[in-house]
Amino acid sequence: MNTYGHFIAGKAVSGTSGRFGEVFNPSLGEVSGKVALASRAEMRKAVEVAREAFPAWSAVNPQRRARVMFNFKALVEKNMDELARILSAEHGKVIADSKGDIQRGLEVIEFACGIPHLMKGEYTEGAGPGIDIYSMRQPLGVVAGITPFNFPAMIPMWMFGVAIACGNCFINKPSEKDPGVPMRLAELFLEAGGPPGVLQVVNGDKEAVDAILEDPDIQAVSFVGSSAIAEYVYSRGTAHGKRVQAMGGAKNHAIIMPDADLDQVTNELIGAGYGSAGERCMAISVAVPVGEKTADALVAKLKPRVESLRVGISTDPDADYGPLVTAQHREKVKQYIDMGVKEGAKLVVDGRNFSLQGYENGYYLGGSLFDHVTKDMQTYKDEIFGPVLQIARARDFDEAIALPTTHQYGNGVAIFTRDGDAAREFASRVQVGMVGINVPIPVPLAYHTFGGWKRSAFGDVNQHGPEGVRFWTRIKTVTQRWPKGGVRENASFVIPTMK
């Protein structure tokens, strides 16, 4: 049985609060370990260590910081199988999906390896008589990330990869549900040449979160999780003078036009809707076929595919997806399916009673499919975060655009069509932060930026890409003049201009 403490000052340390949380193996439905829940004093210790490490790390030139990131990338790749096993055992993802989780994080590490170029400022010679102006980007200091259970490798690397490359010292507060991978990543960063105190992991619950949000030495906080907590993190963090980006929930729609290839659409919806048991903020959870004929044909194709989904233990190479993360979350998803039936949606495929032979204690759900879902239903308004796909029929193109545009969430959306004009108009008009055109999960590549709109994101700056560099740095502008000699006889009381 694993016991996780924290990773502070370059080494694993035991927790001292006396409080612990349980870590489960979702495939087996049993406790596999325990994790220390930090006190404010333990979080403060990590902050002090980071504060002491910051002057030296920020003074390391960007090229040498990039070399550490290159080494870290190579070590993560070398230990990919081990990391995937840890991730799958604690989260429940199948091994292939866990490796995808790690790889998408590594793509941001690759981007961060370009930090010497990304940190370059601007220079104007002769901006005025004998005056030059230049700008520089400088790190903030001690920063923190509060990361979720559903991507315990990818999202920490999205955050700390750019933050550390920019010269900051980073404290990760991962989900207490699956802390193993974040702890191992911190060990690998140290092995890669990262100095002690630059990347630390402090496990915990709300007490640790509040300690981060209120600590005067933490300059910026990045968060990914539910919208209610994202709003809390944003409001409380900014109230304490911090720069905050807080990514929340989602209800991602897929618009299916009458001219779309329904075989392609069916494949894409199956993967994007049920992969990782639907526990993705970018999962497609609502399909919006345009026209009754399109809807009927789509349901006819989806029904047998959902019924034949292979649900298995996380190490089963033939499983399409594994268990949900906890028994409590499985019950929550079941309650949403119950609610959908009561609200009058048609349950085409019911996955509530699924049981995996030999693993009856695991947290499994079969795939569920709803038809005739309407926008006034609570199950449509909320993020279910499970293996449930809803079909909300639209009469025409305008009604289809209106559904994601008027929804409280605005994370991702997709359209499937052969019509370039319709796709272009959709991308322009829809009020959602990330748009896919014949792409079901429109997560931008690492050198672009990730972020939703409305209640899917709180704060003005997105994750990774150039936006990530801007978030983890602040700009300083220098106006300089070197007089040729002599002293000006008269003081000027007029504001300088270029007239």
State how many domains the chain has. Answer: 2
What residues make up the domain containing 277?
A: 252-437
At 186, the pLDDT band (50, 70, 90 cuts) reads: very high
Q: What is the 3-state secondary structure (H, E, C) of 93-109?
A: CCHHHHHHHHHHHHHHH
DSSP 7: E
Which domain CATH number covers 126?
A: 3.40.605.10
Cα–Cα dist 251/269, whole Å: 14
In a shared domain, residues 257 and 399: yes
In a shared domain, residues 116 and 231: yes
In a shared domain, residues 58 and 197: yes
Decide if pLDDT at 10 tops 70. yes
The phi and psi torsions of 24 (rounded to 5 degrees) equal -110, 155
SS3 at position 304: helix
| 242 CB neighbour count, 10 Å cutoff | 22
Q: What is the pLDDT of residues 450-465, one digit of tens each?
A: 999 999 999 989 999 9
What does the pLDDT average to over 403-409?
98
> Which among 437, 465, 487 is the end of a domain?
437
> Measured on CA atoms in the order 237, 241, 242, 246, is the torsion positive or negative?
positive
In a shared domain, residues 53 and 181: yes
In a shared domain, residues 279 and 222: no
Beta strands in 5-102, from DSSP E residues, in sequence order: 6-8, 11-13, 20-25, 30-36
Cα–Cα dist 49/6, whole Å: 13
In a shared domain, residues 77 and 148: yes
Q: What is the pLDDT of residues 159-172, one digit of tens each?
A: 999 999 999 999 99
Do the domain assignments include residue 40?
A: yes
In a shared domain, residues 174 and 39: yes
In a shared domain, residues 105 and 208: yes
Give which of 257, 211, 264 is closest to 237, Cα–Cα: 211
Which domain CATH number covers 377?
A: 3.40.309.10
In a shared domain, residues 359 and 275: yes
In a shared domain, residues 86 and 235: yes
Catalytic residues: 281
Q: What is the pLDDT of residues 306-339, one digit of tens each?
A: 999 999 999 999 999 999 999 999 999 999 999 9
What does the pLDDT average to over 60-86?
98
Query: For residues 456 and 478, is the Cβ–Cβ distance under 8 A?
Result: no
Do the domain assignments include residue 110?
A: yes
Q: What is the pLDDT of residues 124-180, one digit of tens each?
A: 999 888 899 999 999 999 999 999 999 999 999 999 999 999 999 999 999 999 999
